[in-house]
Homo-oligomer: A and B are copies of this chain.
Amino acid sequence: MKYLFSNVLGCFIFDNQFNLIEEVKFIKTEDYFKKNKLEPELNKKYPDLVSVPPEKLSSILSFFKDSKFYSLFYQKNLELTKQKIKSSVSDDTLIIQTISNIEEVNKLGNILAKRLREWYSWYFPEFSESIGDNEKFTELIVFRTKSELLRELNLRDKESMGADLKEEDVKEIVLLGKEVLQLYQLKQKHEEYLKVLMARHCPNLLELAGVTIGAKLLEFSKGLKHLATLPASTIQLLGAEKALFRHLKIGSRSPKHGLIVNHPFIQKVRKEDKGKASRSLADKLSFCARLDFFKGEFKAPEYKKELEAKFLS
């Protein structure tokens, strides 16, 4: 009877007196990952080889108590851990990071745009009032002069309540405006990048859910692997946790949909069908996540057609 024992240093074979017979050292750290191939080979060489039963383990471990192993163990473990950390960064990580950055950039853009409006209002309050969209407002005040904008509102300069600021004062407002535009542009670029990431990682999910909702599903479920294991009913309610727990706790109405509520398909469906449609969409999204995780076919366009035929005809 012989015993086989493997650790980060190598594969070790002991006789039944626990004396070392043979050792295959892992020279490079990566060799450790070949363990599963090496062990069967050793098994062939020693037909009476068994893995160490628990009650004998302490005798084997005492062999490794020798201080000559200490620094080796430390070093190999450290390297292995580093490699594991390194390989833990996946497309999932990047997608989740990117979608949350996009949301942050968008939020900050809006904060600055609000400041910009406040500041610009000292100069030309009527214009700030006349236009609701932050991005469009910013573009106009950056690229047009006040007199052009006055003409657009059919106002004469004298009629405006805005102060007559000096050129240097206006220049500073425009600087802030340019920054706001930069932020919105960055958001757009990140969204294009996110699309590329998702096209290589989860094409089906991208096709059916769209960039933002697809990425947010990954964010909420902490990655494609987990999303693929979720039941459709959970996917349907991802992002509606608050409403769900309120339902469970105080018996308010159960939520019909989580973040998929913003999906253009759900938006188009008749109000009385929204619940059913959400359920069907979540079903198909769940299929997509599984197809993508197991590198299956590209079936999302088919699903899309099915859904539309069922609810939008």
Q: Measuring CB to CB, which residues of chain A are less than 8 angstroms from any residue of chain B? A: 82, 85-89, 93-94, 97-98, 100-101, 104-105, 108, 111-112, 115, 118-119, 122, 159-165, 168-169, 172, 175-176, 179, 182-183, 186, 189-190, 193, 196-197
Contact = CB atoms under 8 A, between A and B. Distances in A.
17 contacts: A86-B160, A86-B161, A86-B163, A87-B163, A93-B163, A98-B172, A100-B115, A104-B115, A105-B176, A105-B179, A108-B111, A172-B190, A175-B186, A175-B189, A176-B186, A176-B190, A179-B182
Contacts of A189: 172, 175
B82 A97 contact: no
A43 to B, nearest CB: 32
Contacts of A183: 179
A168 B182 contact: no
A32 B112 CA distance: 40
A105 B97 contact: no
- Copy tally for this chain in the complex stands at 2
Nearest to A192: B172
A168 to B, nearest CB: 7
Contact of A162 (B86, B119, B164, B168): B86
Nearest to A82: B161
Contacts of A86: 160-164
A182 B177 CA distance: 12
A118 B89 contact: no
Given A86-B164, A87-B163, A89-B122, 13 more contacts: A82-B159, A82-B161, A88-B163, A89-B163, A93-B122, A94-B169, A98-B172, A100-B115, A101-B176, A105-B179, A172-B193, A175-B190, A182-B182
Nearest to A112: B108
A163 B82 CA distance: 10
Given A168-B193, A179-B186, A196-B168, A122 B108 contact: no
Closest 9 CB pairs of A and B: A89-B163, A85-B161, A89-B122, A82-B161, A172-B193, A108-B108, A179-B186, A97-B119, A86-B163
B118 A97 contact: yes
B118 A112 contact: no
B122 A112 contact: no
Contacts of A172: 98, 189-190, 193
Contacts of A186: 175-176, 179
A101 B115 contact: yes
A162 B189 CA distance: 24
A172 to B, nearest CB: 5
A241 to B, nearest CB: 24
A175 B86 CA distance: 23
Contacts of A119: 97, 101
Contacts of A82: 159-161
A97 B112 contact: no
Contacts of A87: 163
Contacts of A105: 112, 176, 179
